[in-house]
Structure 1
Amino acid sequence: MSHSPGLLLTILAFALVIGPLVFLHELGHYLAGRVFGVKIDAFSIGFGHELFGWTDRRGTRWKFSALPLGGYVKFAGDLNAASAPDPAWLELPAEERARTLQARPVWQRAIVVAAGPVTNFIVAIVILAGFAMTFGVDRTPSIVGTVSPGSAAAAIGLQSGDRIIGLGGRSIATFNDVAQFAVLRPGERVAVDFLHGETKVEREAVLGTATERDRFGNEYKKGQLGITPTAPVAQPVGLLEAPGEGVAMTGKILRTTLDGLGQIITGRRSVDELGGPLRIAKVSGEQLALGWPDLIFLIAGVSINLGFINLLPVPLLDGGHLFFYAIEAIRRRPVTPAIQEWAFRGGLAAILALMIMVTINDLGAFGLWKSLTGLIG
């Protein structure tokens, strides 16, 4: 039996996850722009029609807009909320022109644009560092405790006391490394390197597949090697060590994201697993129902993904601007306005297509398509 967290809790959790992350992302752009003396016309949470707002003494319009699925900072000299350069900035009076983003050297513009995603990574590092200090870090060694009969581990001769040192060409240090690698690869053939006593053994195993259902009715297919660890080891982490652990944990989550994306691109994982705002809302409600630590950990994960997505070299995203700046730095002159305009149009089309696809996937995750099939049938 599944237990839905309810619509109100889901909306609240979604606001708690997305709202602060969007604000902090845009605040990164804003503060970097301020450092370099760029005039900022608007700071918006959400897109579209303004619901309410105010104008500060510097002339920046702070506002909340009707579509709360993101936000933007509009700098002087920007054509639109996507920070496409406005050719008209060249016609501004010299004093105003000097305060536009386009008047800044390319390295300053790059810092302003990169500051948003970088802020997302910093948020995640701070949260995960806090988790490391609060709960410690799992240092359970990658030593086999027990081997399940008939499992992938049994098939390659793994025994209690063996130490796994590599999976799929990646070095393995802890049992958590084993679990994180295996969980994304159900049914896949992977190389397994382990130490049997002092002898290094290299084998290939086909990971097992386990289907699990959580309390909310969500089903997951997970890869399994078929082993259990020895006694768990949790290492306490002090204040000085915590940032380093936060960086390491952020790196692991980012690598897991890249692994999953690579599997979707290569067809080893279904595109149905790509989710958008609706699925984030669904998962947010579920994590809040489980408790505040689960929701805060989700915020760290979403922040990492938000930073990563924004760095993709797609026009309209921060990564697209950085791509143009890189070309400008190499050529010593900006990409022509006509090329940028067509690139931004293509980027908009790609993002809209992706949003339609993930929305269809999200509605499927909510069970809409199964319900419609049942009604038709």
Structure 2
Amino acid sequence: MLEFLWNLGSFILALGILVTVHEYGHFWVARKAGVKVLRFSVGFGKPIFTWYDKLGTEYVIALIPLGGYVKMLDERVEEVAEHERHLAFNNKPVSKRIAVVAAGPMANFLFAIVALGAMYMLGVQSIKPVVGSVAEQSRVAQGGLQPHDLILEVNEKSVHDWQDVMFAFMSSLGENDMTLKVTDESGRIQYRRLDIQNWKLDQQDVPPTESLGITPFRPAITLNLALVSKGSAAEKAGLLVGDQILAVNGAPVSTWQELVALIQQSANIPLAIDIKRQSQQVTLTAIPALQVADNGTEQGVLGVAPALENWPTNYIETRHFGPLDSMVLGVKKTWELITLSFDMIGNLLTGQVSVKNLSGPVGIAVGAGASVSYGLVAFLSFLALISVNLGVFNLLPLPVLDGGHLMYYIIELIRKKPVSEKTQELGFKVGAMLLLALTCFALMNDVARL
């Protein structure tokens, strides 16, 4: 329950920031274009807080935090007094209407630049992309990639962490091959050429690295306890954080996987667990609780998590940048995210990426909660990524989105006359149906992940 509330609160915070940024883009440019703004709302439904500025604009924070809107004076929506007709949105030149509509997505892109720039100034600590293991007969194995290879470049593009590597891999979808520049275990520079012809991301939630056969390096799992869940069988037995598991029912345990297998086979069965606590050896009796897995099988659960060995110091990199370099990097990274987002949309349409990988509000909430837990730098990175996605999504040529309005206005600019109201109304209905179907599909994916 606590995790749910944390994720929900983080989601509301993240979405509130991004919606405010997006709508403020529309609002600011509308004011500059001489359009009268009637309402600036963050959220939908019943207002929670309301106030007015000196120009009569109503500001609203509403109950349902799933979006927002800027309501402008418009003769197509309601009757406008003669003395205010020049302030109506529909009476502005098409160039100004295009500017007002495009300002929302552009504000999201600008926010991403600022967020990433702030992240680089604060300092980015990352794990170097060192290969842990390579799956047999996989594409990377056939390309010669080896455990302990440090990936330096993907197709001549520098990478610093696994996120960079995954984004570079996704950018290569549809290509016939991909070249990795690596440092091998002995410190020599090597090049690995991967055959990625017909490679697709067609499995749900399988990252590009795993799809190609790479398992990133992670420190070894120890038999020391890093977590004992409250109210669990382990807590009832008296197990504590820091205890080292030595044996179960007198049989020595050598790996965590071996311990997990024993626990899963022993639901509701008392187990004598030998532990080392500081300098003493203690024997405790634990009865694993019965749990029904997703596939319907029953298994035992103790309620503990292991500690990992320390990361090698040379595998961790912290990068700090000055204000100017940070903003330059922010612009560069934002542009990479924009192009990658459009590439992914194209790959979804061509089938290179499965629609099973789409995420909805639940997936975003979980991501928001995790990023807040990791700290400000991680949260800024998450906000930048979602802000870019929000901007790109709104530029799609669906009539209910900013991109659909832009499409109509560009047609009007070319034809020298507006698209008929009948055509626009039909487009809005079709667009709304497609958007609803897409939202439902993303929610179904979210539910399947729970």
Give yes or no for TM over 0.5: yes
Match 2:84 to one of 96, 100, 114: 96
User: Map of 1:252-271 to 2, 5 A cutoff?
Assistant: 252-271=336-355
User: Cα 1:175–1:13, aligned 2, differ >3 Å: closer, same or farther?
Assistant: closer
Once the two structures are superposed, residues 185-214 of structure 1 have per-residue CA deviations (whole angstroms, 9 ceiling, x without a partner) of 89x9841346899999966258999xxxxx
Once the two structures are superposed, residues 69-121 of structure 1 have per-residue CA deviations (whole angstroms, 9 ceiling, x without a partner) of 0000010006xxxxxx43x66xx444211000111111111111111111111
Q: If each structure's helix is expressed as a fraction of its own residues, which one has the higher value?
A: 1
**How much does 1:330 deviate?**
0.3
Match 2:195 to one of 204, 211, 233: 204
Secondary structure at the residue paired with 1:316?
coil
Could you tell me which residue of structure 2 aligns to residue 191 of structure 1?
177
So what's the TM-score if we normalise by structure 1? 0.76
Q: Is 1:31 the equivalent of 2:115? A: no
- Bigger Cα displacement from structure 2, 298-307 vs 156-165: 156-165
Task: Tell me, in whole angstroms, the C-alpha distance in 1 between the residues paired with 2:135 and 2:449.
Answer: 34
Task: Tell me, in whole angstroms, the C-alpha distance in 2 between the residues paired with 1:164 and 1:282.
Answer: 30
**How much does 1:253 deviate?**
2.4
Match 2:67 to one of 60, 67, 70: 70
Secondary structure at the residue paired with 2:329?
helix
Q: Which amino acid is the alignment partner of residue 16 of structure 2?
A: G
Match 2:112 to one of 113, 124, 127: 124
User: Cα 1:135–1:208, aligned 2, differ >3 Å: closer, same or farther?
Assistant: farther
- Bigger Cα displacement from structure 2, 192-201 vs 94-103: 192-201
Match 2:421 to one of 318, 331, 337: 337
Task: Tell me, in whole angstroms, the C-alpha distance in 1 between the residues paired with 2:366 and 2:215.
Answer: 32
Q: Which amino acid is the alignment partner of residue 22 of structure 1?
A: V
Task: Tell me, in whole angstroms, the C-alpha distance in 2 between the residues paired with 1:273 and 1:185.
Answer: 17
**How much does 1:290 deviate?**
2.8
Judge conservation of contact 2:44–2:63 (CA < 8 Å) in 1.
Answer: yes
Could you tell me which residue of structure 1 aligns to residue 363 of structure 2?
279
Match 2:330 to one of 229, 246, 258: 246
Could you tell me which residue of structure 1 aligns to residue 279 of structure 2?
none
**How much does 1:133 deviate?**
2.1
Could you tell me which residue of structure 2 aligns to residue 56 of structure 1?
53
**How much does 1:236 deviate?**
4.3
Once the two structures are superposed, residues 20-64 of structure 1 have per-residue CA deviations (whole angstroms, 9 ceiling, x without a partner) of 111111111111111111111111111233344233332222112
Task: Tell me, in whole angstroms, the C-alpha distance in 1 between the residues paired with 2:361 and 2:373.
Answer: 18
Could you tell me which residue of structure 2 aligns to residue 108 of structure 1?
96
Task: Tell me, in whole angstroms, the C-alpha distance in 2 between the residues paired with 1:249 and 1:72.
Answer: 28
Task: Tell me, in whole angstroms, the C-alpha distance in 2 between the residues paired with 1:348 and 1:124.
Answer: 27
Could you tell me which residue of structure 2 aligns to residue 156 of structure 1?
143
Secondary structure at the residue paired with 1:68?
strand
Judge conservation of contact 2:38–2:56 (CA < 8 Å) in 1.
Answer: yes
Task: Tell me, in whole angstroms, the C-alpha distance in 2 between the residues paired with 1:21 and 1:293.
Answer: 17
RMSD (CA atoms): 3.9
- Bigger Cα displacement from structure 2, 264-273 vs 117-126: 264-273
Task: Tell me, in whole angstroms, the C-alpha distance in 1 between the residues paired with 2:386 and 2:150.
Answer: 36
Task: Tell me, in whole angstroms, the C-alpha distance in 1 between the residues paired with 2:336 and 2:123.
Answer: 18
Task: Tell me, in whole angstroms, the C-alpha distance in 2 between the residues paired with 1:320 and 1:31.
Answer: 21
Q: Which amino acid is the alignment partner of residue 244 of structure 1?
A: V
Once the two structures are superposed, residues 133-170 of structure 1 have per-residue CA deviations (whole angstroms, 9 ceiling, x without a partner) of 222698x8x9x999969564453356899998764xxx
User: Cα 1:232–1:269, aligned 2, differ >3 Å: closer, same or farther?
Assistant: same
Could you tell me which residue of structure 2 aligns to residue 372 of structure 1?
none
* Structure ID, larger Rg: 2
Task: Tell me, in whole angstroms, the C-alpha distance in 1 between the residues paired with 2:387 and 2:328.
Answer: 18
Q: Is 1:172 the equivalent of 2:157? A: yes
**How much does 1:280 deviate?**
1.1
Q: Which runs of 5+ in 2 are unaligned?
A: 183-187, 218-313
User: Cα 1:164–1:154, aligned 2, differ >3 Å: closer, same or farther?
Assistant: farther
Q: Is 1:293 the equivalent of 2:280? A: no
Task: Tell me, in whole angstroms, the C-alpha distance in 1 between the residues paired with 2:180 and 2:51.
Answer: 62
Task: Tell me, in whole angstroms, the C-alpha distance in 2 between the residues paired with 1:362 and 1:258.
Answer: 22
Match 1:135 to one of 103, 112, 123: 123
Match 1:46 to one of 40, 43, 46: 43
**How much does 1:16 deviate?**
1.3
Q: Which runs of 5+ in 1 are unaligned?
A: 79-84, 210-217, 367-377
**How much does 1:66 deviate?**
3.0
Q: Which amino acid is the alignment partner of residue 99 of structure 1?
A: L
Once the two structures are superposed, residues 240-264 of structure 1 have per-residue CA deviations (whole angstroms, 9 ceiling, x without a partner) of 2222100111122233333433333
Could you tell me which residue of structure 1 aligns to residue 13 of structure 2?
16
User: Cα 1:157–1:113, aligned 2, differ >3 Å: closer, same or farther?
Assistant: same
Secondary structure at the residue paired with 1:286?
helix
Q: Which amino acid is the alignment partner of residue 61 of structure 1?
A: E
Task: Tell me, in whole angstroms, the C-alpha distance in 1 between the residues paired with 2:434 and 2:377.
Answer: 35
- Bigger Cα displacement from structure 2, 244-253 vs 218-227: 218-227
**How much does 1:307 deviate?**
0.7
Q: Which amino acid is the alignment partner of residue 44 of structure 2?
A: F
**Number of residue pairs the alignment of both structures matches:** 341
Judge conservation of contact 1:28–1:116 (CA < 8 Å) in 2.
Answer: yes
Judge conservation of contact 1:125–1:246 (CA < 8 Å) in 2.
Answer: yes
